[in-house]
């Protein structure tokens, strides 16, 4: 699910941060970081994109153990994060994880969602999104040339996460971006997914969310909960770099 700010910082502080960032976002000032030319090295980067959603639902689960071994071989820590943290099934290399995954890939609702993802996110749409994300990562590399270049993985999280940034992988859950008016989005329980959250479940926000998620992941070691001013400065920096 989307991160809950109340688990990270007090509600009042979270509200102040949101108001502060919203106010800054409304200022029509220069954005010098966007004017910096990409370095030659960044321009030559080739970003890897993978479709875990297709590989998972296309895997042969007649032998669940072999299917999971193949997925782990291809996706490594991302596969582990998916089964252990998103689905909370079992340790990713345990003997039971394959059998536990079968109900997920055979579930009627999950299969319907998978089909809807393929319908909404056509090859052309994924190509265009990937091109935007490539530019984001190339620009990131321009400012941080020694940092890790993530592999982008599109997947289906069952609405447990929209963006899953790991050390070397940037996961993007396509089921969380089907659109506010999509029938599957509308079916999500309003207590778990209120209207304002559904309004943000649009592909137009995908690239921005991915950028913010990756920046937050890289900056996590710098976070220190001190006082309101430090909170404002820290999250303001994250938003500035992401933009």
> What distance lies between CA 27 and its chain's CA centroid?
27
State the Cα–Cα distance between residues 38 and 12, nearest whole angstrom. 39
Is 170 within 8 Å of 151 (Cβ atoms)? yes
Angle at 6 between CA 187 and CA 228, to 5 degrees: 140
pLDDT higher than 70, residue 222:
yes
Task: Assess whether pLDDT exceeds 90 at residue 26.
Answer: no
Look-up: residue for tokens 């309004």? 199
Over the Cα atoms of the chain, what is R_g? 19
Q: Looking at the predicted structure, is the pLDDT value of residue 122 above 90?
A: yes
User: What distance in Å separates the CA atoms of residue 120 and residue 205, rounded to the nearest whole number?
Assistant: 15
**C-alpha span between 84 and 78 (Å, rounded):** 10
Q: Does the pLDDT value for residue 189 go beyond 50?
A: yes
Report residue 119's pLDDT band, with 50, 70 and 90 as the boundaries.
very high
Question: Residue 84 above 60 pLDDT?
Answer: yes
Which three-class secondary structure state does DSSP give residue 172? strand
User: 61 pLDDT band (50/70/90 cuts)?
Assistant: very high
**pLDDT of 98:** 94
What pLDDT is recorded for position 131?
Answer: 97
Taking CB atoms within 8 Å and a gap of at least 24, the contacts of 183-186 are 184/112, 184/113, 184/116
pLDDT at 27: 53
Per DSSP, helices labelled H in the chain are 5-8, 11-25, 40-43, 52-57, 64-75, 77-81, 97-106, 108-120, 123-143, 183-187, 195-199, 206-219, 228-242
Average pLDDT, the chain: 87
Q: What is the pLDDT of residue 3?
A: 44
Cα–Cα distance measured from residue 66 to residue 60, given in angstroms and rounded to the nearest whole number:
8
Report yes or no: 3 and 85 within 8 Å, Cβ to Cβ: no
Higher pLDDT, 230 or 205: 205
28 — pLDDT class (breaks 50, 70, 90): low
Q: What is the pTM of this model?
A: 0.84
In the chain, what percentage of residues exceed pLDDT 90? 71
Handedness of CA 181, 184, 189, 194 (dihedral sign): negative
Confidence of residue 22 (pLDDT cuts 50, 70, 90): low
* Residue 231 pLDDT level (bands cut at 50, 70, 90): confident
**How remote is the C-alpha of 60 from its chain's centroid?**
26
């Amino acid at each position: 699910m989307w991160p809950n700010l109340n688990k990270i910082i007090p509600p009042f502080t979270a509200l102040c941060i949101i108001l502060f960032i919203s106010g800054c976002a409304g200022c029509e000032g220069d954005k010098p970081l966007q004017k910096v030319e990409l370095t030659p090295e960044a321009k030559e980067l080739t970003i890897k994109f993978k479709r875990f959603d297709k590989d998972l639902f296309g895997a042969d689960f007649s032998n669940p153990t072999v299917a999971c071994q193949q997925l782990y071989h291809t996706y490594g820590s991302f596969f582990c994060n998916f089964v252990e943290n998103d689905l909370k099934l079992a340790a990713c290399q345990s003997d039971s994880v394959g059998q536990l995954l079968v109900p997920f890939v055979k579930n009627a609702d999950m299969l319907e969602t998978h089909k809807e993802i393929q319908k909404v996110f056509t090859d052309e749409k994924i190509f265009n999104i990937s091109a935007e994300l490539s530019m984001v990562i190339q620009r990131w590399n321009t400012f941080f040339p020694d940092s890790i270049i993530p592999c982008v993985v599109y997947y289906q999280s069952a609405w447990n996460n929209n963006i899953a940034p790991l050390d070397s992988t940037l996961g993007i859950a396509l089921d969380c971006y089907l659109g506010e008016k999509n029938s599957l989005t509308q079916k999500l329980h309003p207590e778990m997914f209120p209207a304002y959250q559904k309004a943000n479940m649009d592909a137009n926000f995908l690239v921005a969310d991915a950028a913010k998620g990756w920046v937050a992941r890289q900056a996590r070691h710098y976070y220190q909960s001190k006082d309101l001013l430090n909170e404002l400065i820290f999250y303001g920096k994250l938003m500035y770099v992401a933009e």
